[in-house]
Amino acid sequence: MKHQRKKITFQKILIISFVLMVGLLLLYIFQINSAISQVSQIKKYQENLEFFTKEVKNLKIKWTQLNNLESLSKEIENLGFVKNENVRYIQVLENQIVTR
């Protein structure tokens, strides 16, 4: 009887070990899948960050250009300058000198 009891115990240990190994294998696969998913998500976030960083830089440049043009046109208006629509040229003769 003793021999049979040891055999059953050994079989139980084998079954428990097998179940434990399968469980650990499944846990390992789940963790690897999760890690790979997180790495791909981080890579996607980095690509988005690079894209938006370049976009912000371009928008800052455009904003600066527009801001300078707007301030320049406002300053021209404040100084009272008007757009010249009639251009007249002065002809200078060779032998004449203008003095004060």
Q: Tell which wins on pLDDT, 20 or 87.
A: 20
Determine the Cα–Cα distance for residues 16 and 23; give it in Å rounded to an integer: 10
Residue 94: the pLDDT is: 73
pLDDT digits (tens, 9 = 90+) for 39-95: 999 999 999 999 999 999 999 988 888 778 777 778 787 888 877 888 888 777 777
Q: Classify each residue of 49-80 as buried b or exposed e, where b means 16 or more C-beta atoms within 10 Å of its C-beta.
A: eeeeeeeeeeeeeeeeeeeeeeeeeeeeeeee
Question: Could you tell me where the DSSP H helices lie in the chain?
Answer: 2-79
Number of domains in the chain: 1
What pLDDT score does 74 carry? 80
- Of 6-10, 29-33, 76-80, 94-98, the poorest mean pLDDT is in 94-98
Query: pTM of the entire structure?
Result: 0.49
As given in the structure block, the two tokens for residue 75 are 């300053």
Q: Residue 34 belongs to what domain range?
A: 1-100
Angle at 17 between CA 14 and CA 23, to 5 degrees: 140
